[in-house]
Amino acid sequence: MTEEKKAVVSTKSGKLEGVYEDGLHKFRGIPYAEPPVGKLRWLPPQPVKPWDGIRPAKKYGAMAPQIAAAAPRDFPGAPDFGDVPQSEDCLYLNIWTPGLDDGKRPVFFWIHGGGFTIGSGSETFLDKGVLAQRGDIVMVSINYRLGAAGFLNLKEITGGAIPSTGNEGILDQAAALAWVQDNIARFGGNPDNITIAGFSAGGMSVGTLLALPAAKGRFCKAVNRSGAANMVGTPAEALAIAQEFLGIFGLKGNDIDGIRNLSTEKLLDGQTGVGELMRQRGKNPLVFQPIVDGVILPHKPMDAIRQGYARQVTVMAGTSRDELKSSSAGDPSLKNLDDDGLVKRLSASLPDTIIPGLIAAYRKSLTDAGKPAAAADIFSCIDTDALFRIPTLRLIEAQQQHGARAFNYLFTYPSPAMGGILGAMHGLDNPFLFGALDREFTGNGEKQQKLAETIQDSCAAFMHTGNPSCRSAGEWPEYGNTRKTMVFDTDTRIEEDVFGEEREAWDKYTL
């Protein structure tokens, strides 16, 4: 419900008029950089030009061009970005604030997920701003360039004629962060108390920003949700992707005009084509990702973090127990998977030396818990931990080594959808964090509401003080040597070394 209440703010770029809804001032579609179109395509984000008069900020800005998610829109937990158009002119952010005053509230800077190819800061679970109101914080969400527009390195293959490093999407995030630091005080926020946070590729972006010189000093806390600091590419991999991408259109690196003249639709076609080629070859389907180019991103994020680059940042990081169960449930190739097939699939991405130990550990853990332990179940669990949980624990451990405070959680509440077969799937915890429960996907009874409030309160406490302990969650100790972990479920509790037998099986695995 919209109430009659003036919401006009003067920023360094110009005046903005938002709306007052749900007890919050909301500003949507704020440009934080010039539109990256025409000659600015594949360049770092450029400062937004000031405007005259009062600019309306009542509707979301266009989201980055993308192909719809593979899951049908009515599938439980399928992404929903609202009725928002797509355009390469997509560098916008949104703000929810309880007050346009000098309240110096903590700032929550949210980076959406989507495998660096889909997503938007207009995710519908954000819209009401429940977390901002309950936590008395200023909440920000952003768009950034995706896919070939944001993560395609053309510098090498074109001899520098097109200077994109493959990090333009990450630089967009840093530019949005800089805009927020410069202007958020005018929205009741504290520029010296910014928490960057993200889910999935957004969490991986947070891990990258921890090691990005362009973002250093612009935030003091980080929340990695189902994404750590492990998804980056090398220059050699980036060059190979660029060759494949251009080859789809019959282009060479010296055909500069042909490359620049590719339409938005062609960029999306190229993304799809390269992704399919990688899948056919059994390679990482996450084709578009940040690149360790030695300049924009000087080192692998985990290497930089291990060296203490982010020692000043307090971290809260965690995952869901069954991240990939929803994708496994829809994968027909897993239906008849036997142990030989399990070993073969794991060998595509993991060292052969650790695979027998992993299979034995996960089979025992699942069996002891009274859960199905067929080859497909074991594969789903190992795949989840390889991509999400183990990198998250390594990030926490690396921060601790340099004296930084680090907190871990594991979300284990299962979705009631589809008879419960999805478990605590990827993204199920987001509606709990942002107060957007429903009957089918999350359940919306008293227990679920209590869990949502506990997750919101602990996150807000972390933003305010750097410690997620709060009345609803109780004392939340640092991860420490005993690996204390907050287990979020209808019986939320602290446990030490959760699923330790599984974790130990990864000890010889180096990220």
| Catalytic (active-site) positions | 200, 323, 426
B/e letters for 254-288, b = 16+ CB within 10 Å, e = fewer, are eeeeebeebebeebbbbbebbbebbeeeeeeebbb
**How many other C-beta atoms lie within 10 A of the C-beta of residue 497?**
13
The pair of structure tokens assigned to 302 is 């985990």
- Partners of 315 in the β-ladder: 222, 406
Q: What are phi and psi of 275, to 5 degrees?
A: -60, -40
Convert 118-178 into a string of H (helix), E (strand) and C (coil). CCCCCCHHHCCCHHHHHHCCEEEEECCCCHHHHCCECCCCCCCCCCCECCHHHHHHHHHHH
Residue 128 CB contacts under 8 Å (≥ 6 apart), including other chains: 22, 435, 436
Q: What are phi and psi of 287, to 5 degrees?
A: -70, -45
CA distance 451 to 433: 9
- Tokens 């768009």 locate to 143
Residue 280 CB contacts under 8 Å (≥ 6 apart), including other chains: none
CA distance 247 to 266: 12
The pair of structure tokens assigned to 216 is 């250093």
- Tokens 């005018």 locate to 186
Q: Long-range contact list for 374-378, CB < 8 A, 24+ apart?
A: 374/337, 375/337, 375/338, 375/339, 375/341, 375/342, 376/328, 376/334, 376/335, 376/337, 378/342
- Written as one string, the DSSP assignment of 312-342 is T-EEEEEEETBTTHHHHHT-GGGTT--HHHH
Amino acid residing at 437: L
Burial grade of 201 (CB within 10 A; 0-12, 13-18, 19 or more): buried
Q: What are phi and psi of 419, to 5 degrees?
A: 70, 15
The pair of structure tokens assigned to 212 is 């990005």
